[in-house]
A and B are shown apart, each in its own frame.
Chain A
Amino acid sequence: MQLADLPLATVAQQLRAGDLTSVALTEAHLARIAARNPDVRAFVTVTEAQARAAAQAADAAFAAGRDLGVMQGIPFAIKDLIDMAGVPCTYGSRRHAGHVPDRDAVVVARLLAQGAVPLGKVATYEYALVGPSFDQPHPPARNPWNLGHITGGSSSGSAAAVAAGMVRVALGTDTGGSVRSPACYCGVVGLKPPYGALPMEGVYPLSPGLDHLGVMAASVGDAALCLAAMGGPAAEGAHTIRGLNIGYARDWFATDPACDPAVLAALDDTAGALSLLGARVSLTTLPDYPTMEAAGAIILHAEALAHHLAALQAHAAGYGRQAYQSLVSGVRLTDADLAQARQAAVRMRAAMETCLAPFDAVLTGNVLAPAPPFSAFADDRAVWTAMRTLPFNVTGHPVLALPVGFAGGLPLGAQIVGRDTAMLVRIGAALEAATDAGAQRPYLRT
Chain B
Amino acid sequence: MADPTPTEDRLLTDLSQLGLSLRAAEIAGVLATAQYLERAKGLVAEYLDRENAAC
Contacts and interface: CB of A to CB of B under 8 A. Distances in A.
Interface in A324-381: 325-326, 328-333, 337, 340-341, 343-344, 347, 379-381
Nearest to A340: B44
A294 B39 contact: yes
A67 to B, nearest CB: 50
Nearest to A316: B20
B20 A331 contact: yes
B26 interface: yes
A14 B15 CA distance: 59
Interface in B1-53: 3, 6, 11, 14-15, 18-23, 25-26, 29-30, 33-34, 36-41, 43-48, 51
Interface stretch (A273-281, A295-303, A399-407, A432-440): A295-303
Contact of A332 (B6, B29, B44): B6
A381 B26 contact: yes
A340 B25 CA distance: 32
For chain B, the bracket of interface size reads 20 to 34
Nearest to A351: B51
A290 interface: yes
A309 interface: yes
B50 to A, nearest CB: 9
B26 A332 contact: no
A344 B44 contact: yes
A332 B20 CA distance: 13
A297 B37 contact: yes
Contacts of A379: 25
Contact of B48 (A309, A332, A344, A380): A344
A291 interface: yes
Given A331-B18, A331-B20, A332-B6, A290 B43 contact: yes
B47 A332 contact: no
A306 to B, nearest CB: 12
A295 B22 contact: no
For chain A, the bracket of interface size reads 20 to 34
Nearest to B28: A381
Contacts of A331: 11, 14-15, 18, 20, 34
A313 interface: yes
B38 A298 contact: no
A325 B20 contact: no
B20 A321 contact: no
Given A321-B26, A329-B33, A329-B37, A291 B44 contact: yes
Contacts of A290: 43
B40 A295 contact: yes
Nearest to A381: B29
A321 B41 CA distance: 26
A291 B45 CA distance: 10
A262 interface: no
B44 A341 contact: yes
Contact of A301 (B37, B39, B51): B37
Contacts of A46: none
Contact of B38 (A291, A328, A332, A380): A332
A104 B20 CA distance: 34
B43 A294 contact: yes
Contacts of A333: 37, 41
A293 B41 CA distance: 11
A312 B40 CA distance: 24
A342 B39 CA distance: 16
A341 B30 CA distance: 21
Nearest to A380: B26
A382 interface: yes
A152 to B, nearest CB: 19
Contacts of A337: 41
A316 B21 CA distance: 9
Given A291-B43, A329-B30, A330-B37, 4 more contacts: A321-B26, A332-B14, A332-B37, A337-B41
Q: 10 shortest A-B CB distances, which residue pairs?
A: A294-B40, A329-B33, A294-B43, A381-B29, A329-B30, A344-B44, A313-B19, A291-B47, A331-B14, A291-B43
